């Protein structure tokens, strides 16, 4: 069974363009939504995303809505802890495909990492 993992040098979740996420206001508080929108650069990427390394510049201090935890996903999406793994995998697959394409190297790497667990 696949186990959710965040892979290094991906950054697909750092593509924050609000036009791609019209439901933001339904799962973020108004303060979080303000913070989220302030993090979006003119190109749609997070201002903290480092494109050369494809890493988060504030990873240890990133906001709660950037974290994949049982508590944050329950609060934002109503996902029970026992469903978090499959839901997070589906989210990553969809975001990687949207950002890098259906048959991307990043998508291939992601599938390899989650299958190895």
In the block, tokens 């667990």 appear at 117
Residues 12-33: pLDDT tens digits?
Answer: 999 999 999 999 999 999 999 9
Task: Give the span between the Cα atoms of 55 and 16, in whole angstroms.
Answer: 14
Domain count, the chain: 1
Give strand ranges (E) for 1-117: 49-50, 55-56
- Reading the block at residue 7, the tokens are 């892979």
Asked whether residue 2 is assigned to any structural domain, the reply reads: no
Asked whether residue 5 is assigned to any structural domain, the reply reads: no
- Per mean pLDDT, which range of 44-53, 73-82, 108-117 is the poorest? 108-117
In the block, tokens 């999406």 appear at 77
pLDDT of residue 117: 62
Asked whether residue 1 is assigned to any structural domain, the reply reads: no
Asked whether residue 7 is assigned to any structural domain, the reply reads: no
Residues 47-63: pLDDT tens digits?
Answer: 999 999 999 999 999 99
Task: Give the residue numbers spanning the domain of 94.
Answer: 12-115
pLDDT tops 80 at residue 113: yes
pLDDT tops 80 at residue 1: no
Asked whether residue 43 is assigned to any structural domain, the reply reads: yes
User: Counting beta carbons within 10 angstroms of the beta carbon of residue 72, is it exposed (0 to 12), middle (13 to 18) or buried (19 or more)?
Assistant: middle
- pLDDT band at residue 2, thresholds of 50, 70 and 90? confident
Task: Give the span between the Cα atoms of 24 and 38, in whole angstroms.
Answer: 13
- Reading the block at residue 12, the tokens are 């697909």
Residues 78-108: pLDDT tens digits?
Answer: 999 999 999 999 999 999 999 999 999 999 9
């Amino acid at each position: 069974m696949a186990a959710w993992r965040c892979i290094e040098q991906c950054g697909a979740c750092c593509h924050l363009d609000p036009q791609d996420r019209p439901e933001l206001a339904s799962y973020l508080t108004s303060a979080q939504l303000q913070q989220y929108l302030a993090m979006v650069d003119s190109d749609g990427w997070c201002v903290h995303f480092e494109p050369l390394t494809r890493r988060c510049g504030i990873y240890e201090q990133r906001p709660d809505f950037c974290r994949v935890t049982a508590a944050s996903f329950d609060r934002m999406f109503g996902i029970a802890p026992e469903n978090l793994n499959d839901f997070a995998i589906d989210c990553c697959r969809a975001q990687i495909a949207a950002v890098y394409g259906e048959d991307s190297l990043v998508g291939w790497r992601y599938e390899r990492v989650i299958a190895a667990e």
